[in-house]
Structure 1
Amino acid sequence: MKKTMYFFAVPALLFYCIFWIFPILKLFQYSITDFNGYAQNFKYVGLSNFKDLFEGGTLGNSIKNTLIYTAISVIAGNLIGLALALLLNQNIKGKGFYRSISYIPTLFSAIVVGFIWSYVYMPDSGMIATLFAKLGLPTDNLNFLGSYSSALYSIIFVEIWKNVGTTMIIFLAGLQTVPQDLLEAGKIDGCGTWKLLRFVKIPLLATSITINTTLSIINGLKAFDFPFIMTNGGPGDSTNTLIYSIYKMAFTEQMFGKASALGIISFFIIIVITAVTVLTMNKKEVSA
C-alpha cells in the first residue's frame, strides 16, 4: 500500500524536478559563464558576472527601485485596503455594489491595466491632462511617466490601484470573524471607535495582515509588468526593477550569463526578505 502511494507521487516529483530544480541548477551554471542566450560555445568566467554587477551600478539602482516600489506598495496598499474594508464592513446602503466596484480592477490583467493607465497619464491628451485643461489648471508638468522623478511613483500608484481589491477582500474576511459580543463588551467598557480598532480589531486581524503583507511584498519584489508595459524601464533607469533588469540583460542586451547572476542575487533577496517578514508577522500573531 505504501509503495503504491509513493508511485502516485512520482509524476508530481518529476514535474517539480524538471520545471523547478533543473532550471535553478542551470541558472547557477550560466551565472558563471559568458552565455549570450543561444550560442553553445560559451566560456566559464568564474565570479566576474557578480563582480560586474556590484561594480557597474545596475544592481544598486535596481535594488533601490525595487525596495521603494515594495515599501510604498506594501504600506499604502494595506492601509487603503484596511480603510476600505472597515468602511464597507459597516451597515451602509449598497455596500455590496461598492465592494464589487473596489474589487473590479483586480480582475483585469496587468497588460490591460498598464495600457489604460498609460493613456490616463498621457501628457497632452490623457484623461488627467484633459481634466486639468477643462478645469483651467496648468498642464505643462503633467508628464508623469516621462519624468525621472515621478515615473516610479506613478507606476506604484497603478500597482496599488490594481491590487487593493484583493487586500480589501482579505481584510473583510478577517473582519467577519471578529466576535460581535467582544465589540459590544468593548463599547460597554467605554471604548470608542479608535480604541476598538486598535485594541480589538487590529489584533484579531493579525492573520489577515500577515497574508496581505506577504503577498504585497512578493508582488513588489517581483515587479515587472508595469515597468515593462508603461515605461520600458525608463526614463533613464528610474523604473528599472530587479526582474526588469534581468529581462533587459537577457533578452535585450543578450548577456544571459550576467542576467543569471542577477537572477540568483534577486532570488536570495526575495527569499530573505519574505522569510524575515513571515517569521516576524507569525511571532506577532502568537503574541496577539
Structure 2
Amino acid sequence: MKKIKKWFDSKSLIFPNKMYWFIIPALLMFTVFWILPIFQLFRYSLTNYNGITNNFRFVGLSNYKFLLRQGTILNSSKNTLIYTIVLVLGNNILALGLAILLNIKIKAKGLFRTIAYLPALFSPIVVGFIWSYVYMPDSGLIASLLNAFGFGAINFNILGNYDWAIYGVAIVEIWKRFGTTMIIYLAGLQTIDTSLIEASRIDGCNEWQIVRFIKLPLISASITINIVLSVIYGLKAFHYIFVMTNGGPGTATNTLMYQIYNIAFSEQMMGKASALAVVAFLVIITITIIMLIFMNKREVEL
C-alpha cells in the first residue's frame, strides 16, 4: 500500500506535479480529433471505401498504384509546387520588408502595423469572396482602376487565364498571411540589442549592410518559422481555390488538396482520396523536418 501511495505522491517521478492532470482533457481531444482520424485515414487508403456505404473491402496498395497512373496527380503536384514557391517568396519578402520599415522610429507606427495586420483577421472564405469581386472582369476593382486610368480592361481576367490563375490565387493568400508573418519578424527584430546597431553605424556600415550582416542573421529563428509555415500553407492550399476557381480554368489551379477533395466528394472515391491524403501528409512531414534540420543549423544564437 505504501508503494501504491507513493506512485500518486505529487513528489514522485511518475506524477511529479498534480497540475499535469490538467493536460488530460486536451490530450483526449487531441487523440480523438487528430490521432484517431490519421489512423482511420491510413485504413481507408487500403480499401475501396466510397464515403457513403460501409460495404467496402480491403484492396491493398491498388489505390496508391492508381495515383501513379493518374495524370492529374502530376498536374496538381506541379500547381502545388508553383503555388508554394510564390507564397514563400512573396509572403516573406513583403513581410520582412514591412517589418524592417515599421521597426524604425516613424510617426503612426502603431497605426501602420494595425493596417498591415488587418487582413489576417478575416476568414479565408470571406477573403476568397472579396478577391473574387476584386478580380472580376469589366466591373471588378482592378478592372475599374485600369479603365479609370485609360489602360482598358477588355482582356483582364486573371482567374480565367490558364497561365496566370494560380499566381492570382497565390497573391490572395500572400495578402491574407503577410500580416501574421510580419508580426513574427517584428518580434525577432525587437530582440536585437540596439548597441549592436549603434556600434555598426560607428564602424561605418550603411543601412543595407546593417540589415544584411546584423539583423538578418540575428532573426534567423524568425526566418525559419516563417518559411516553414509558408511552405506548409502552400502545400495545404485549398480554401481560396475552392471559393475562387474550383480548380479551373481547366486544371490550372488544381492543387493536391483540391484534388483530394475532388476525388473524395465529386467522384466519391474516398479510398483513393485517402491514399492521396496519406501521400500528401508524408510529403509535408518530410519536407518540414528536412527544412527544420537544414535551417536550424544556420540559426544564430543571441
Identity %: 57
**From 225, 247, 250, the counterpart of 1:211:** 225
* Stretch deviating more after TM superposition (160-169 or 58-67): 58-67
Which residue number in structure 2 is paired with residue 97 of structure 1? 111
2:158 partner SS:
coil
Which residue number in structure 2 is paired with residue 79 of structure 1? 93
Deviation at 1:185, TM superposition (A): 0.8
Instruction: Supply the AA of the counterpart residue of 2:209.
Output: K
CA separation in 1, counterparts of 2:150 and 2:295?
48
1:163-202 matches, cutoff 5 A: 163-202=177-216
Instruction: Supply the AA of the counterpart residue of 1:272.
Output: T
CA separation in 2, counterparts of 1:7 and 1:125?
58
**From 47, 54, 58, the counterpart of 1:40:** 54
Instruction: Supply the AA of the counterpart residue of 2:93.
Output: L
- Using structure 2 for the length normalisation, give the TM-score: 0.91
**From 265, 268, 272, the counterpart of 1:251:** 265
CA separation in 2, counterparts of 1:153 and 1:98?
26
**From 61, 64, 83, the counterpart of 2:78:** 64
Give yes or no for the alignment of 1:129 onto 2:143.
Answer: yes
CA separation in 2, counterparts of 1:244 and 1:200?
41
* Stretch deviating more after TM superposition (218-227 or 258-267): 218-227
Give the root-mean-square deviation of aligned CA atoms. 1.7
Which residue number in structure 1 is paired with residue 128 of structure 2? 114
Instruction: Supply the AA of the counterpart residue of 1:157.
Output: I
For residues 194-221 of structure 1, give each alpha carbon's deviation from its aligned partner in whole angstroms, at most 9, with x where no partner exists: 1111111111111111111111111111
Instruction: Supply the AA of the counterpart residue of 1:24.
Output: I
Q: Give unmatched runs, 5+ long, in structure 2.
A: 1-8
CA separation in 2, counterparts of 1:18 and 1:98?
42
* Stretch deviating more after TM superposition (137-146 or 18-27): 18-27
Instruction: Supply the AA of the counterpart residue of 2:86.
Output: I
Deviation at 1:9, TM superposition (A): 5.2
1:16-31 matches, cutoff 5 A: 16-31=30-45
Which residue number in structure 2 is paired with residue 159 of structure 1? 173
Q: Give unmatched runs, 5+ long, in structure 1.
A: none
Deviation at 1:149, TM superposition (A): 0.7
Deviation at 1:12, TM superposition (A): 4.0
Which residue number in structure 2 is paired with residue 240 of structure 1? 254
CA separation in 2, counterparts of 1:103 and 1:18?
33
**From 93, 97, 102, the counterpart of 1:88:** 102
CA separation in 1, counterparts of 2:111 and 2:215?
24
Change (3 A) 1:249 1:202: same
- Using structure 1 for the length normalisation, give the TM-score: 0.95
Which residue number in structure 2 is paired with residue 144 of structure 1? 158
CA separation in 1, counterparts of 2:218 and 2:259?
40
Q: Which structure has the larger Rg over C-alpha atoms? A: 2
Deviation at 1:71, TM superposition (A): 1.2
1:138 partner SS:
coil
CA separation in 2, counterparts of 1:25 and 1:203?
41
Instruction: Supply the AA of the counterpart residue of 2:168.
Output: S
1:6-17 matches, cutoff 5 A: 10-17=24-31
For residues 213-240 of structure 1, give each alpha carbon's deviation from its aligned partner in whole angstroms, at most 9, with x where no partner exists: 1111111111111010110111111111
Q: Is the 8 A contact 2:218 2:301 kept in 1?
A: no
CA separation in 1, counterparts of 2:96 and 2:36?
41
CA separation in 1, counterparts of 2:154 and 2:47?
48
**From 278, 281, 294, the counterpart of 1:264:** 278
Deviation at 1:10, TM superposition (A): 4.6
1:98 partner SS:
helix
CA separation in 2, counterparts of 1:209 and 1:9?
31
For residues 131-158 of structure 1, give each alpha carbon's deviation from its aligned partner in whole angstroms, at most 9, with x where no partner exists: 1112221212211111111110000001
CA separation in 2, counterparts of 1:15 and 1:86?
40
